Structures are given as structure tokens and as C-alpha cells.
Amino acid sequence: MFHRIGRTVVRHPVWTIVAWLIAAVAIIATAPSLPSNSDESSFLPSSYESIRAADIQEKAFPAAFTPAAILLFERNDGAALTAADKTRIASITDGLGKKRIDQVQKVVEGSESKDSKYKTALVQMNKESAGQPKQADAAKALRADSTALAKGTDLKVRVGGQAAQALDQQDAGKTSDAVALVGSVLIIIITLIIIFRSPLIALLPLFMLIGVVFTVANALIADATKIFGLQANSSVSALLIVVVLGVGTDYFLFLMFRYRERLRAGDEPKEAMINSVTRVGEAIASAAGAVIISFLALALSTLGFLTQLGPALAILVAVTLLAGLTLFPAVCSLIPPRALFWPGKKWREEPTDARFAAIGRLVGRKSGLVAIVSGLVMLVLALGSLGYKASYDLASGSIPKTKESMVVQDTLKAAYSAGAAEPTSVFLTSTSGKPLGPVDYVGYADKLREVDGVADVTFDQKTGLNKAGTTANFTVTLKYEAATDKAIKTVGEVRTAAHDNTPPGTEALVGGMSSIYKDINAAVNHDYRTVFPVAAILIMIILGLLLRSVVAPWYLIASVALGFGATLGTTVMLFGRGDGLIFMLPIIMYLFVVAIGTDYNILMIARLREEAQEGRDPREAASMALRHAGPTIGAAGFILAATFATLMLSGNSFLTQMGFTVAFGIIVAAFVMAMFFTPSLTALMGHAAWWPGHADRSRAAAPGGPAPERELDESGHR
């Protein structure tokens, strides 16, 4: 199949390029814009208690609201607010309400801090558009208008809350996109020039990936998001840029290394490209298939952000694979090798550098020692994962601390009770739909107040009951910030107390941000039990089909699991000692490290199989596979790791953690697992690694099989 693809593309390169351009224009022209949502509660299904509580609040207490934005007032000199200051704050609050800013429904006065240095105002926005970009626009207008209204006074006003965080996240996202794009482009150009000594080869993949592949994939992602009603997040776009440049450049590298090898073997240029697609097509397609399946496994997640991220990345890799098998060879086949590799003059010569040949000899001769040492390195690093702790504050994790919304959040923590900014609500509801019967509201509040970690519980029978008398609202203030482990643990105990002490004929539901984080924790644990095993099983099936073996997939996936453990352990030791790692990181890490680690495993073992089919014994095959595939995997691993590492410059702690984690995982996958652990284990197992098939059998031994190709010597001759 891949030979037919290569032959068709290389013989009709112009038509292939034209087909790509026509398809690109049609797809991009008809695609909707990609939406964005930063409301963390929207990432959860409606079956979770926190979401059910929010529905109760909306129906029973439509006038009550969780503020979408919070205005924080203080004096410019930092002194306590005077009576005149408080009058001006009331005037500014009233003036903002009269501005009729889009999405803003009302602005009401909030509370004063205990030291009288701060006072808040609370902003209600349209609940139906929570987390959408239009509310970020409203926060921007609030900042401008409140500053204008406070001009000429002694007051300073800043805007925080979810809508303001969404605005700051957008701004941080633009910076992240720019840093990721510029950093990735520079790394790719410099690395490819060093490898091939050709500016044309350095620039070609960028034009194709950014100009065609990324724009087409982004349009298809927007289509899928609209059709399937997926959630979107501003952090996704920076990740898409890095993935398309990293993975796309990898596929381009695999093709060009093999193309150069076939030219050195004496093939005519077009035949060399056809043979290159034939030889690497199966390995690239299998590697991409493993990545795509891993990403699609995220569709099983219960978190909206991950159900968007998985299909988006799967679409991106699928389009990149299609380009790798068609667009890349079509464009390169139109350019004569002398021009393609210009000004380099040694592209026809086998390099004399024997580093990878020496590594190959080491793996072949001392396979047992290499397997033990490389395995122990990964195992020791994996021990750090025992200290893993999760952080559920995605907004804070994706916004620099210097942004206005983060300054407001930190100030509220210091000036008020840590949980005052985001209180927990307990809704006691009649199960019959009739008004609540005689209820000891004071006693029920006391039971909630007894929970360790609860600062206060308030209930006013006049305002705490809805008009129908069917629901009572108890406001629970925790001692801890909403996203902390202590708050999440406390809200779990509040749920237990609320459920265990419900009067007959009533049901209790606990809402608020801490309750949402509690449910996110449960959803992530669900994903660990479903997404991980499903992805691993599907990848093993791909490996089994590619290698015609039921043995190799087991130790290949085990090696990838070791790489995952080593990556998580190292990340915990470097980033997880404070507030912990962003809760989604292990899932994203697992899928990237497993998928991309499997990529390099596939490429190495596919080359090892090819060498074995030339008639070499297992150890010699491993040695020669390292010699030939080592440079390709090393270069690809470095470029992909370096492109992900650019995310560490974004100023966004979520992307910083993700950038380091994936980059380190790729380094482990390429330079420890694929280059040492996998080939040494395969050499040790010998022919048993391919059981029950005979994928390593010499081609000459097969009836009617082609004669084995002779190896090139150092000068490039047969």
C-alpha cells in the first residue's frame, strides 16, 4: 500500500500539491471560528453533585448569584477606608450598574475587610454565557469604566473573579502562542540546518506545516467542536502549535533521513523517494496511529477540557500523517537533490562519525547490562512519583501571578477569610416538591458548623428560603482557599454531614467551587481507571498488528510505562513540592509519553526487524538498527523535546509544567528507552520476541522472497 502511495505521489507531485491546496481552501473557508470556554464547572457532566447544586440554586434562588467578577476597592495610600471613601465606592458601584455593560446584569456592594482597608462590589453576569469570551470582554469594560469613575478620588479599584481571570488567561494565551511559535520555529530551523547543512530543508517543513497542515487541522477542529458540542480552552491553541511543529518535523525527518540513505545507496532520485515512502510509511502510519488512538481515548474522559483536547490533537496528527505520506514527498520530489541539499556537498557520502555505530555495538555485545542499567535509571526516577499531589486551580495555573485578577485573588485571601471569596452552599430541598415541613434550621447549621475546617455557617430564614418554601440555602465559609487540598477534603466532609443529617422528606446538595473541584477529582480518578487502560490496550493491538507478535507489545508497553513513571517522578521532584501539579498533567503526560514513546519504539523495532530480515542474528540486528535509526530518533527526539520545552517560557505555570514534563518524557523515550532499553531487550529475547509470527525471518528464506540488500560500507559502497 505504501509503495503505491509513494509511487502515485512522486509520479504526480503537481496534482498532489494542487489537491492539497484546493482541499485547504475549501476546508478553511467553510470552518466556523473556534470557541473558547474557561468556566471550570462546564467541564463536568450534569450528574455530578456540584452541577446539580448549581441547577437548584438557579431555579430556587434566581436573584442570588455567584459573582462572575469582583471589584476590589482600596485607598491609594493603603490606609483604612474613610466614611467619604465608602460613599464614593457606593457611587462607583451604582454608576457601573447604570452603564449597562453587555453581559452585566447587576452590580451590588460587597463586604468590608476586618481591617477596613478593602471593600468589594459583586458583579452578576448572564449565567448562560458563563466562561465565554463575551464575559471576558465585559470584564475588560468593567476595568475601564471603574477606573474612569474612580479618577480624581483617593481610591484604586481592580477587577478579579472568573470573568477577569478569563480575560487575563486570553492575554496570557496570546503570549504563550507567540513564544511557542517563535521558539519552535527557531529550534527547528537551527537543528535542521545543523543536520542537513541545507536552509531549504530547514524551511520547507515550516512552510508546509504552518501554511497548510496547521490551518487545515485548525479548521477541521473547529468543525468537530461545533458538530459534537465540545468544550474549548485558550490553552489548547499553544499546544496545537507545538504538536504540529514537533510531530510534523519528526515525520519530515524520518522521510528525509531515509531519502538521503536511499540516494547514498545509488537510487535514482524519484525511485529513492518512492522507496523512502515505502520503507518508512508503515512505521510512520503505525506510530501516528498509536498517537491518534491515545488522543481519541480522551473522548472517554468525563472532563470537557480533555474531551476537546483529545479529538483536537487526534485530528491534528491525522492531518500531519497525511501530509507526511503525500505532501512532503510530493514537494521534495519536485526539487533536484543537489538543490534540496544545497549548499551541503556530503549528502551522498556515508558519515564517518561512528558514535551511533559504537552505541549499537555496545547494545549488541552487552545487551543484558544495557537493559538493566537503562531500566534502573527509569525505575529510580519513577520513585519520585510517590510524592504526587494535584492542584485543581486551573485558572491560577494558567495565569501569571502579576495579572490583575491574580493580584485581586491573592489580596482577597490575605484580607478576608481564605474561603470567603468562594463560599460553599448547601441546599436543603424538599423531595416531594411541597414546602419544607418543620425543620430545625439552627440545628442543621450547627451540624455543618461542627465539620473540621468550616469557619462559619450562616442561614437567614427570611432570605435563605426560596419563595415556594421548597429549598433552604446554607452558606458555608471554609477556612481554606477553594482549590486547596484541605478545602476539597473539608467539602467532602461537609457533604457527608449534609447528607447524614437531612430531615425526612428532604435532600441535600452541596455546591460552590470547592464542591466543583471535589467532583473534578472524582472525574480524574475515573479517567485514570478508563482512559489509561483503553489507550494501552489499543496501542498494544497496533503494535501486535505491525510486528505480527503477541510478545513484543507487552515489553514495549512496559518500557513506555517505565518512561511515564520516570517522567512523572522527575516532574514531581521539580514542580510538585508546593501547591502540586495541575490535575490534568498526569493524563496529558501519559498520553504524550505513551504515544510518542511508542512512536520511537515503533521506529526502532521496525528498523531492527528490517535488519533481521537481511539475515542478521538478533544482537547484530539490534546493533545495526542503532547505527541507522539512532541518528533519526535522536534528531527527532531533540526537536520534539525542544519545541515542547518552549512552553516553559510562556509565563503560564500550567504550560510550564506541561512543557517540561512532555519534553523530559520525550528525552527519556528517545535517548533511554528507544535507544537502549528496547533494542537491548529485543536482542536478549532473540527470535522469541516475534512469537508466534516470524517477522524477523530473512527475506531470502521466504519462498520467492527478494534477495537481502547488502549493507553499505563507510564510503557508501555495497
Q: Tell me the pLDDT band of 497, cut-offs 50, 70 and 90.
A: very high
Q: What integer pLDDT is reported at residue 311 of this predicted model?
A: 85
pLDDT-wise least confident of 35-44, 289-298, 353-362, 458-467: 35-44
Return the ∠ at Cα 234 (arms to 133 and 660), rounded to 5°: 160
Q: Of 521, 541, 671, which is closest to residue 596 (Cα–Cα)?
A: 671
Alpha-carbon radius of gyration of the chain? 30
* Residue 386 one-letter amino acid: L
144 pLDDT more than 90: yes
694 pLDDT more than 60: yes
152 pLDDT more than 60: yes
What is the tens place of the pLDDT at every residue in 391-416?
776 665 567 777 898 888 888 878 87
Q: Rounded CA gap, 584 and 480, in Å?
A: 22
Copy the grid coordinates of residue 712: 553499505
Higher pLDDT, 329 or 708: 329
pLDDT mean over 224-248: 72
Residue 433's CB is within 10 A of a number of other CB atoms, namely 8
323 pLDDT more than 90: yes
What is the tens place of the pLDDT at every residue in 246-291?
888 889 988 998 999 899 888 999 999 999 999 888 888 888 888 8
pLDDT mean over 635-647: 85
Q: What integer pLDDT is reported at residue 662 of this predicted model?
A: 87
Q: What integer pLDDT is reported at residue 233 of this predicted model?
A: 54
26 pLDDT more than 60: yes
Q: What integer pLDDT is reported at residue 351 of this predicted model?
A: 63
Q: Rounded CA gap, 271 and 177, in Å?
A: 40
pLDDT mean over 624-640: 88
Q: Helix and strand tally (H, E) in the chain?
A: 25, 10
Q: Rounded CA gap, 328 and 339, in Å?
A: 16
User: Do 69 and 163 form a contact (C-beta atoms < 8 A)?
Assistant: yes
Q: Rounded CA gap, 536 and 540, in Å?
A: 6
Report the chain's terminal Cα–Cα distance, integer Å.
28
pLDDT-wise least confident of 24-28, 469-473, 518-522, 589-593: 589-593
What is the tens place of the pLDDT at every residue in 573-590?
988 766 678 887 888 787
Q: Tell me the pLDDT band of 229, cut-offs 50, 70 and 90.
A: low
431 pLDDT more than 80: yes
Q: What integer pLDDT is reported at residue 479 of this predicted model?
A: 87
Q: Rounded CA gap, 39 and 55, in Å?
A: 15
The tally of CA atoms less than 13 A away on the side-chain side of residue 5 is 19
Average pLDDT, the chain: 84
pLDDT-wise least confident of 182-196, 230-244, 322-336: 230-244
Q: Tell me what percent of the chain is helix, strand and coil, each rounded to the nearest 5.
A: 65, 10, 25
What is the tens place of the pLDDT at every residue in 516-560?
989 988 888 888 888 888 888 888 888 888 888 899 899 988 898
Q: What integer pLDDT is reported at residue 527 of this predicted model?
A: 84
Q: Whats the size of the chain, residue-wise?
A: 718
What's the predicted TM-score (pTM) here?
0.76
pLDDT-wise least confident of 248-262, 448-462, 599-613, 695-709: 695-709
* Residue 647 one-letter amino acid: L
Q: For cell 476590589, what's the residue?
A: 72
Q: Rounded CA gap, 381 and 571, in Å?
A: 10
What is the tens place of the pLDDT at every residue in 2-11?
889 999 999 9
User: Do 35 and 225 form a contact (C-beta atoms < 8 A)?
Assistant: yes
Q: Rounded CA gap, 376 and 370, in Å?
A: 10
Q: Tell me the pLDDT band of 701, cut-offs 50, 70 and 90.
A: very low
Q: What integer pLDDT is reported at residue 305 of this predicted model?
A: 72
Copy the grid coordinates of residue 176: 504563550
Q: Rounded CA gap, 86 and 74, in Å?
A: 10
631 pLDDT more than 50: yes
